[in-house]
Amino acid sequence: MSTSLRTILKVAALTAALCCFPTLAALAQEPVTIQISIQNHQFHPREIRGPANVPIILRIKNEDGTAMEFESVSLRVEKVVAAKSEGIVRLRALAPGRYEFFDDFHQETRGIFVIQ
């Protein structure tokens, strides 16, 4: 194996390790739990609020007779929740701001998560 190839492999391994470190640190914080439900293809409440810089556990209760997919580009999550059941989404510590979310199976079903 050439020296250049060994160098390339070492840089790749080191970078991958450095990338994983802050992820593990963020996951170690104590989370806050927030609940939301979906009924008749509407989120209840449509606007939810949560604290900034703290990991959040979002419990999504689907009271409809069909499955839904909780999805958000800015929250960077998607989760299928079966009919008449509950899904759990773990969110990283978020910066203050407004985060859109929606049901990917019924795209008109939308809500806002306000982080303060």
Partner 1 sequence: MLRRSKIIFQLELICLALLIESITPAIAQGQSTFYEIETKYIFGFTEGSGIGLEGEQEFSPDSVISVGKRNGSYITSQTKLKYEFTPNQFIQFELGPIVSSHHIRNVTDLDDVNRISFGGGFIEFRYLLLDRPASPLAVTIAIEPEWHRTDETSGQYIQNFGLETRINADLEIVPKRLFFGFNLLYEPETSRDATDVWTNESTVGGSAALSYRIFPSVVLGAEVWYLRHYETIGLSQFTGDAVYVGPNIYVQLNNKMFVTAAWNAQISGREVGEPGKFDLTDFSRQRIKLKFAFEF
Asked if 91 interacts with partner 1 (CB under 8 A), we say yes
| 19 residue type, one letter | C
Sequence-distant (≥ 6) Cβ neighbours of residue 60 within 8 angstroms? 36, 37, 38, 70, 79, 81, 86, 87, 88, 89
Asked if 57 interacts with partner 1 (CB under 8 A), we say no
And the tokens for 79? 């989760």
Size of the site for partner 1 (CB under 8 A): 36
Site residues (vs partner 1, CB under 8 A): 2, 4-5, 7-9, 11-12, 15-16, 19-20, 22-23, 26-27, 71-79, 91-92, 95-98, 100, 102, 104, 107, 110
